[in-house]
Structure 1
């Protein structure tokens, strides 16, 4: 009898080994307090190593160094830029990415149903359910969300760091309303899966994954993160009223998942896209300005493993499996 003492011969489950990359300047709020909450929630479940991002060290390099034998997961706590940088290092590996949204928009987390609440997002990685999702390569850079050309790129540049700190997500709306009156049309030559075309546009958005709040991405009605396809939306409007109505139609499409019925909005899907514009247009990639056109984008189907919440149907099926697993033989 061991009188309740631990038996040294009984092996205990190994704690999962995880690496947390934390961006202290992402979003709003007290970074030290948020980091303390993360440690308090995650430490009981993971053998956790924590590393803070630094301005002069690329997030991609930090994540690459974190990949080591025995690492079960890498968590990215920050905005979409931080998450994209960590994802870049994990593409093509079996190491899952834990998304802990701390930024202004948190679009990637929202696209996959990951809650923006800190405690709830931690619970997703603790539960450990994962999904393989697509990524893409845009001019040699990793794309997990979307690339914007024209209107969206100019809007993102207008939404300064100061405005995001002061207004939060409303900074993008304010920037968009300002850009409506200034955006000029441009000539587009594009080739999608070998089929070329020329047209005029004011906005082009190429999406791999997009929440409903990424309004300009929903020209196809439903952006699916694991279908092996890029979703391309091309919009051309003659004046501010047309532009405003087009935005409303795209917002309705994002909510209903029904493609917009407007001649000045084109929705396409494909695997490989080349775009040239005249004059050259600014390009924003996953919230970061990367230069100007031309761009070449290729989808990489199901190349990234991400922790995601169980949907109700999955929870029900999991419960049935657990019940069957514990059922008596012959029942």
Structure 2
């Protein structure tokens, strides 16, 4: 069994729940989720905003972005975004400890740097996005390069479902990164006092290629091998978290489809930042890519470093 290092900064009591805001409806939804999570765990919520003056200068072209009036306006907007987010967080959790931070750099750099010792980083994603590039450069960069756990909260009509018996769902594929997801998922299920659903697909083929076939593994040898893989990845974690009931679900194919379907019933889906089919240099696998775009609940991408 892989175990968390006890000295990891993400596990310290002082580690903060961090959320980025840009004043959008999507970021407000992320603040809502992050405030609830921080309050439930007795952690400080840090709300951050990057002014990104370099991008402002590029956008203004020949205009002098360093002119005091322009700088003042950019800072004022940033301060307003932070104030609005803090007001929302206090409405969600009146006793919550809140810190705000603004910097001149872009938000992605700030969040990636702060993620090294944050409990988790939370970002909002707008609804009805088409391709991964449309997620936005900040979200793309933080999900790919952040440390620890990065949670993407989509701007959707469904409520946030922070409890009520909804499970935490984790995708298992047998890769080392999957073990990081298992560790994070057990921790989240325990914190949220709910059950864990461990989902494994025997192959990465798209689900629609198996149209007309049962959504179960019919070959006894393959079924046994799949169950063995799941057991190996869960080994030790159920003993460490005896309060977490575990449901194991094994399917023949379609990891994106299976996890997307489970996300309709879940309060959180957890995946590793790269799976068994990941290419060197590709920091987010196809399953995680698809889920942060289309899942019906928040998605946690686990970058947790583990040791044996």
User: TM-score normalised to the size of structure 2?
Assistant: 0.28
Q: Whose radius of gyration is greater, 1 or 2?
A: 1
More helix by share: 2
Higher strand share: 1
Q: TM-score with structure 1 length normalisation?
A: 0.26
- The structure, 1 or 2, with the larger RCO (C-alpha pairs under 8 Å, 6+ apart) is 2
